[in-house]
Amino acid sequence: MIGWLRAAAAILVLILVTPPAMLAQWLAIRTRLFSDRMVPRLWHRLVIKLLGIRLQVRGRMHEARPLLLASNHVSWTDIMVMSAAAPVNFIAKSEIAKWPIGGTFARLQRSVFVERERRHMSGAQASEVAERLAAGDAIVLFAEGTTGDGNLLLPFKSTLFGAASLMVDSGRAESVTIQPTAVVYTRFHGMPMGRRERARITWIGDTPLLPHLMRLLKEGAVDVEVHFGEPVEYRKSASRKAVAQEVERRVKEMFIEARRAPPPGRR
């Protein structure tokens, strides 16, 4: 009963807050009177609080531009968590743009939509990402290309780093800074997560979104860490595959370290 009351209260708050936030973000994009990064970050901080997700940030987003953040991917909540942690934009799969509500949110956050089923990011898509990087946007790339189960990392797809390759090959930038980033869900109701607990958080494949959302709203009390690692420079002489492997290695190190049982009092 308490879980349902908690979920109902959270939904009511979202219903009251979300329309004004969407309007404010639309005005920010159209008028440039204030930063279009401010509203999404505040809204996502509210959302994770309502979901009962407690965020800890380790390290900081690099100040260099152009900046591509390469991260693992566990759930739709990663977007809320990453946006709450830093002022970022996202590369999203193209089908999200067609979602009735999620697509609107993604467009308002100025996400770049790509067709991840293709072997290579198309030239137009890579060019759009490159333009956004050149404009100073910090872009998050979920480099596994899909969501994992939160227990193991999937191999990073080097083809998704096409925008970085395009920028240096075309001379738009001497280098692109790629920052390894790890999103790790560590505790559930204060206890270290095992495989069973991570299954409550992960969102894989065609899992229905609404039941997953309602479960989080009712249960809450999830701890998550975002780790910003040491960056890798992508230069003209670089091998895209080698860079992807090195970034993956660094993300995996942070991922494994964060999954170790946090000491008492670390929240």
Q: Domain boundaries in the chain? A: 2-259
Q: Assign 149 a pLDDT band (cuts: 50, 70, 90).
A: confident
Count CB atoms within 10 A of the CB of residue 119. Answer: 6
* pLDDT at residue 220 in the model: 75
Cα-to-chain-centroid distance, residue 256: 18
- 20-24, 102-106, 203-207: range with lowest mean pLDDT: 203-207
User: Looking at the predicted structure, is the pLDDT value of residue 263 above 70?
Assistant: no
CA dihedral of residues 204, 210, 212, 214 (deg, nearest 10) = 170
**Per-residue model confidence (pLDDT) at position 196:** 79
Reduced to 3 states (helix: H, G, I; strand: E, B; else coil), residue 232 is strand
Per DSSP (E only), the strands in the chain are 53-58, 67-71, 89-93, 112-114, 138-142, 175-188, 191-192, 222-228, 232-235
Q: Which of 20-24, 223-227, 236-240 has the lowest mean pLDDT?
A: 236-240
Q: Nearest-CA neighbor of 232 among 161, 131, 129, 152?
A: 161
Within 10 angstroms of residue 130's Cβ, the number of other Cβ atoms is 26
**Above pLDDT 70, what percent of the chain?**
93
Question: Regarding predicted confidence, which is higher, 252 or 219?
Answer: 252
Mean pLDDT of the residues in the chain? 87
The tally of CA atoms less than 13 A away on the side-chain side of residue 128 is: 14
pLDDT value, residue 193:
86
For the stretch 73-88, pLDDT in tens is 998 899 999 999 999 9
Report, as an integer, the average pLDDT of 82-105: 87
- Assess whether the previous peptide bond of 66 is cis (omega < 30° from 0): yes
Query: How many CB atoms lie under 10 A from the CB of residue 81?
Result: 25
* C-alpha to C-alpha distance for 34 and 17, rounded to whole angstroms: 19
> Average pLDDT of 27-38?
90
Give CA–CA dist 97/95, Å, rounded: 5
222 in Cβ contact with 52 (< 8 Å): yes
Structure confidence at residue 13 as a pLDDT band (50, 70, 90): very high
Average pLDDT over residues 133-159: 88
pLDDT tens, residue by residue, 178-233: 999 999 999 988 888 888 778 777 776 666 777 777 777 777 789 999 999 999 99
Q: What is the pLDDT of residue 267?
A: 43
151 or 192: which carries more pLDDT confidence?
A: 192
User: Does 49 have pLDDT greater than 70?
Assistant: yes
pLDDT for residue 23 is more than 90: yes
Entry pTM: 0.88
Q: Please tell me which residue, 166 or 215, carries the higher pLDDT value.
A: 166
> Residue 1: what pLDDT?
64
